Each structure stands twice: as structure tokens, then as C-alpha cells.
Amino acid sequence: MHRGFFISGAWHRPDGAERFEIVEPATGKPVGSTLLADERIIDEAVAAAEAVAPDFAATPARERAAILERAARLIDERAEAMAVLLTREQGKPVGDNLKEVRFGAEVLRYYAGEAVRMSGALRPASAPHIRNLVIRQPVGVAAAIVPWNYPVDLYCWKAGPAIAAGCPLIVKPPHETPLAIAMLVDCLNEAGMPPGTLADLPGLGPVAGAALARHRRVRIISATASIPAGQAIIREAAGNLKKLSLELGGHAPFIVMADADIEEAARAAHRRSFSNMGQICITVNRVLVARPVKKAFAECLATLAEETEIGNGLDPAIGYGPVLNRSVIARVAAHQADAVTKGGRVIAGGSVPDGEAYAHGHFYRPTVIDDAPLDSLPMTEETFGPLAAIAAFDDVGQMLDMANGLEYGLAAYLYGRDLEPLWSIAEALEFGAVGVNVNDTSELQAPFGGWKMSGFGRELGPEGLEPYLEPKHIKMRVRDWSAIA
């Protein structure tokens, strides 16, 4: 599959555009290619979006909702084909990708409902003849930067609220994994997106992403990215003060209290550490365990990691696939080496697997490090790969210092039986979401986003609409009815 740019309701493959080859992570074989957008292409898409922005803003909410509903139906109809293509370009098992695609459709349905629930308010006035009306209007041309780890899902997280709000949308999908997204774009187009209201332009962050960030006609950027990428977006956007909604790096702590069900907690940590081979913003790389139960927990997690079968995600029997590319392997190996050098012990995994099935792909065994020093890389930096590092704590105060001591603040997990202290601990954790006895903090109806260096702004829930809307106060003087008579 060789894809180009979607602008003004049609696909374009301009001559001379730079091309990027997409490689299947499990085999190292070519899957397809994509053109890479430059500043000229970005300008063309922004001009088309700006031209139709007033009409799209004026489109009745029910019409925009109907577009989202139709797109969701089309995605559901094509979900299996999209999931297979996503596995070939990204690596996750087909079953996981099928869940991703279907959840993306649910996000569009949710924002179809939110589109017709948006409202304003009549506020109290300072005088009898004054009326204060507060309305919310579309901010204008929106841009979205989508990551490679959950491209279809996170595309919908951004497209759903933007379309519901009435904002034309320009998306820079990941150049590493843009193929299934092309199918998603076709669904939105066939659902009735007016020409100009949707553009899809794969490109490199320092080129296409930077062009969107500094473009004066782009009013809002929503990005899911690393902290350095988010900082680059802020710098580029600073000259025009556009709105930003940034979900950045996570490095979530997984906390196991002394009274936790150890087997349950270990299974939860295993899934949260190694699902998508740890390539998730809410992945667990650092595990903080109460000292009395650390040995039992570490043994249980190590056993689960050693029993994990990895392979080609196209195999229906496989639950854990490859990482995206060799740079992920290099980063995991570097974090592991740093932890071991400083005194940590590898108790599971720790290497590239042997065998012909793994020879040409990008695989790394799920890795568990015990007694990881707090100054080691897995404890201080997001690995974004299949590595879980364990450290002990002696009391709640020490644990909170360990959990809150980094600049990350996206998600945290907390396992224990006594809910009374868990509630207080959850409140004390400096993170945008806390999972208590659950290992997933995402919920369609609830806001998702980070504290501190993990970003600002929220996605999902009613809050997901806010970045795409601007409040307007209309103050009106009215006549006394008796004066009219």
C-alpha cells in the first residue's frame, strides 16, 4: 500500500514529495510507503480548511453528529481489515488492534452525542435591564498530531471532539504507521465530511509538525507525543499563542501495598508493563512494592514474564508481539544495562529471543529487574518498552516521595485491600489519573490527561470538547416591558 495526502476531499500524490518506507516489525519486510508532507503541503491544507471553517461552524450540530455516527458504522464494518493492516505496520496482535479500532468507533459515537449536548448559559446580571449570555463557538482550524503506538484510537480521540465542535481538522498521522489511518480517513470522507474540513498529512515532526505548530491560521493543536516533542511544539507555537492540548510522556508508577493480593497485582502489572510491548503512555516501567511482599511479588511477576510467548501478531495464538523498531530495542537494552551496572538484577527476560522466527523482526523478551536503584534509568526515565523495574518501600511517606518525585504525572496504579488508606493515597498521588485495583485508567466518559511535565488539556469525556471551543460573553441591554407598551 502506497499512500499520499488527503486534502479537500481527495487523495493526492504530488511529484517530488519525499517518501518513507514502512517496515513490518515482526518480519522486517516492507509493508508499503507514505509520502511525507512539507511546509507547502501544510499551507495548502490550512488554506482549504480556513476557507470552509465558517460554513462548518454553522453546520447544525445534528448534521455533524450524523457524520460521526456514519463514520463509526463504516469503521465497524471494516474493523477486521483495519486491524490486520495495523498489525502489519505497528506490530500489536490482531486481537488488540481489533479492540483499538472498535474503541475508536465508540469514541466517534460518543462525540456524536456530545455534539448535540453542547450548551451555553444565561448568567446573572448586574442590573435589571442587562442580560448576560455565554455561548461557546468553534475555535477555528484545528490540528492534531497522532502517535504510532495507538494510531487509529488516538486519531479518533482528536477527530471526534474537533468534528463535534465544528472545527476543520488537519491531522499529522505518524509516518511510521499511517496505513490503517488511511482507511479511517476514507470512512470519515464517505460519512460526509465536506471537502476541506479534513486533511491527513503524514510527515516528520520537525518538518510537518513544526509547520502546523507555527502556522498562524491553526488555532489549536492537540498532540500525543513525548515530552521533548511536546516542548518543541510549545516553542514553535509560542509566536502565535494558539491553544494547546498536550498528552506527553507517562512513566506510571505501579504501587503494591503490603495487604494486596500478590497474584492479582502481579498479573495486572504484567499486562500493564508488557501489553503492546510497553509502548503505551500509561505503561508501567517502575514498580514500587511494600518490602514485606516484594520478594513474593517479584517472583510472581518474573514467572509471568518468562511464560509470556511473543511472536508475529498476525498469529491468532500470540498475545504479545514485536516492538516497533530497533531503536526501541536499543533503549530497553540501555535502561537494563544502567540498572544492572548500578546494582539491579535481571530476573526475567533481558535479551533478544533466539530462533529463526525472531531473526528478522524487532523482538525483545519481557524483562523484569529486581532491586532497581532509584537513580537508574528505568526508575527515572520512561523506557517505552517491555521492561518492569522493581524497588521496595518501607512506609507510605517514602512511597509517595518515590512516586511523586519525578516530573511525570500522567497515570499511577495502586493495589491493596484496605480501601480507606488507598483513597487518601490516590488523592496524594500527583497524577492526572489513578487506577485503584485496576490497571487501566482510560474511560470514555472521563477526562484523560497529565499533570506536571506530562502535559495539559484533557481528552475524552465532555472535557475533550473544551480545547476546540471558545467561550463568548454576549452582554445585552433590554427594554423594560412596560416601556415597550
Percent of the chain residues topping a pLDDT of 90: 98
Edge-first strand listing for the sheet containing 455-456: 10-12, 5-7, 198-200, 169-172, 142-145, 220-224, 243-247, 455-456
Antiparallel, parallel or unpaired: β 220-224 and 198-200: unpaired
Note whether 254 and 297 are within 8 A (CB).
Answer: no
Antiparallel, parallel or unpaired: β 252-256 and 367-370: unpaired
Find the Cα–Cα–Cα–Cα dihedral 47, 50, 55, 60, rounded to 10°. Answer: 120
- Domain positions in the chain are 2-248+450-473, 252-436
Q: What is the pLDDT of residue 140?
A: 98
Question: How far, in Å, CA of 117 to CA of 466, rounded?
Answer: 13
List, in sequence order, every residue forming a beta bridge with 476; answer none if it has no partner: 131
Question: How far, in Å, CA of 388 to CA of 272, rounded?
Answer: 10
Better pLDDT: 132 or 480: 132
HSE-up of residue 255 (Cα within 13 Å, Cβ side): 29
pLDDT, tens only, 214-270:
999 999 999 999 999 999 999 999 999 999 999 999 999 999 999 999 999 999 999
Catalytic pick among 114, 281, 381, 382:
281
Buried b (16+ CB within 10 A) or exposed e, 356-392: eebeebbbbbbbbbbbbbeebbbbbbbbbbbbbbbbb
Using the predicted structure, report yes or no on whether residue 485 has a pLDDT greater than 60.
no
Edge-first strand listing for the sheet containing 469-477: 121-123, 130-138, 469-477
Q: What is the pTM assigned to this prediction?
A: 0.95
Can you give the three-state secondary structure of the chain, one letter per residue?
CEECEEECCEEECCCCCEEEEEECCCCCCEEEEEEECCHHHHHHHHHHHHHHHHHHHHCCHHHHHHHHHHHHHHHHHCHHHHHHHHHHHHCCCHHHHHHHHHHHHHHHHHHHHHHCCCCCEEECCCCCCEEEEEEEEECCCEEEECCCCCHHHHHHHHHHHHHHHCCCEEEECCCCCCHHHHHHHHHHHHCCCCCCCEEECCCCHHHHHHHHHHCCCCCEEEEECCHHHHHHHHHHHCCCCCEEEEECCCCEEEEECCCCCHHHHHHHHHHHHHHHHHCCCCCEEEEEEEHHHHHHHHHHHHHHHHHCCECCCCCCCCCECCCCCHHHHHHHHHHHHHHHHCCCEEEECCCCCCCHHHCCCCCCCCEEEECCCCCCHHHHCCCCCCEEEEEEECCHHHHHHHHHCCCCCCEEEEECCCHHHHHHHHHHCCCCEEEECCCCCCCCCCCECCCHHHEECCECCHHHHHHHEEEEEEEEECCCHHHHC
CA–centroid distance for 57 within its chain = 26
Buried b (16+ CB within 10 A) or exposed e, 285-297: bbbbbbeebbeeb
CATH topology match: 2-248+450-473 vs 252-436: no
pLDDT band of 484, cuts 50, 70, 90 = low
pLDDT band of 482, cuts 50, 70, 90 = low
Using the predicted structure, report yes or no on whether residue 480 has a pLDDT greater than 90.
no
Question: How far, in Å, CA of 357 to CA of 294, rounded?
Answer: 35
Antiparallel, parallel or unpaired: β 411-415 and 252-256: parallel
Q: What is the pLDDT of residue 1?
A: 82
Longest CA pairwise span in the chain (Å): 92
For the chain, give the mean pLDDT: 97
98 C-beta neighbours (distance < 10 Å), count: 18
Catalytic pick among 247, 382, 459, 466:
247
Q: Is the dihedral of CA 250, 144, 233, 211 positive or negative?
A: positive
Percent of the chain residues topping a pLDDT of 70: 99
Hey, what CATH topology would domain 2-248+450-473 get?
A: Aldehyde Dehydrogenase; Chain A, domain 1 (3.40.605)
Find the Cα–Cα–Cα–Cα dihedral 70, 71, 76, 82, rounded to 10°. Answer: 160
Q: From residue 12, give the alpha-carbon distance in Å to each of 5, 9, 17, 190.
A: 5, 10, 11, 17
The torsion region of residue 91 among left (phi > 0), alpha (psi -120 to 50) and beta comes to left
Respond yes or no: is residue 24 known to be catalytic. no
Respond yes or no: is residue 281 known to be catalytic. yes
Question: How far, in Å, CA of 207 to CA of 99, rounded?
Answer: 32
Mean pLDDT of 147-158: 98
Q: What is the pLDDT of residue 454?
A: 97
pLDDT band of 479, cuts 50, 70, 90 = confident
Using the predicted structure, report yes or no on whether residue 483 has a pLDDT greater than 70.
no
pLDDT, tens only, 55-110:
999 999 999 999 999 999 999 999 999 999 999 999 999 999 999 999 999 999 99
**What Rg, from alpha-carbon coordinates, does the chain have?**
24
- Domain 252-436 belongs in CATH node 3.40.50.740: no
pLDDT, tens only, 177-225:
999 999 999 999 999 999 999 999 999 999 999 999 999 999 999 999 9
